[in-house]
Chain A
Amino acid sequence: MKRKPLQTLAVYLLLLGGSAVFMLPLVWMVATAVKPIDQTMTVPPVWVPYQWYAQVDGQSLAVDRVGNDPLSPGSVIVVAEETGERMIVPEGAMTWRVAPRWENFHLAIEAMGSFWRYFGNTVLLAVLTVIGTVCSSAVAAYGFSRIDWPGRDKLFILALATMMVPFPVLMVPLYSLFRALGWIGTLQPLWVPTFFAIPFNVFLLRQFFRTIPADLSDAARIDGCGEFRIFFQVILPLARPALVVVAVLQFLATWNDFLGPLIFLTDQEDFTLALGLQAYQSRQGGTEWHYLMAASTLVVLPVVILFFVAQKALIEGISMTGLKG
Chain B
Amino acid sequence: MTRGERRNLAVGLTFISPWLIGFFAFTLYPVLASLYYAFCDYDVLTRPVWIGTLNFQDMVTDDVFWKSLYNTLYYTAFAVPLGLVLSLMVAVLLNQSARGRSVFRTLFFMPSIVPLVAVAMIWLWMFNGSFGLLNQALALVGIRGPNWLNDEAWVKPSLVLAGLWQTGGTIVIFLASLQDVPRSLYESADLDGAPAWRKLWHITIPLISPVIYFNLIIGIINALQMFVIPFVMFKTTGGPNRSGFFYAVYLYQNAFQYNQMGYACALAWVLFLLILLTTAAATLLTRRHIYYAGG
Contact = CB atoms under 8 A, between A and B. Distances in A.
B90 interface: yes
Given A166-B268, A278-B232, A26 B110 contact: yes
A143 B176 contact: no
A171 B121 contact: no
B107 A23 contact: yes
Which of B11, B113, B136, B140 neighbours the largest number of chain A CB atoms within 10 Å of its CB? B113
Contacts of B53: none
Contacts of A28: 122, 125-126, 133
Interface string A128-153: 00000000100110111001111110
A196 B26 contact: yes
Nearest to B274: A166
B115 A256 contact: yes
A34 to B, nearest CB: 14
B242 interface: no
Given A144-B16, A323-B211, A173 B8 contact: no
B295 interface: no
Nearest to A195: B18
8 contacts: A143-B13, A147-B11, A155-B16, A162-B23, A166-B272, A277-B117, A322-B176, A323-B177
The dominant DSSP class at the A interface is helix
A170 B15 contact: no
A293 B111 contact: no
B11 A227 contact: yes
Which of B11, B94, B125 neighbours the largest number of chain A CB atoms within 10 Å of its CB? B125
A318 B8 contact: no
Which of B22, B124, B265 neighbours the largest number of chain A CB atoms within 10 Å of its CB? B22
A29 B15 contact: no
Contacts of B12: 143, 147-149, 152
Given A169-B265, A170-B27, 12 more contacts: A22-B107, A147-B8, A166-B272, A167-B225, A195-B18, A196-B21, A258-B228, A275-B117, A304-B110, A307-B110, A311-B106, A322-B174
B225 A140 contact: no
Nearest to B117: A274
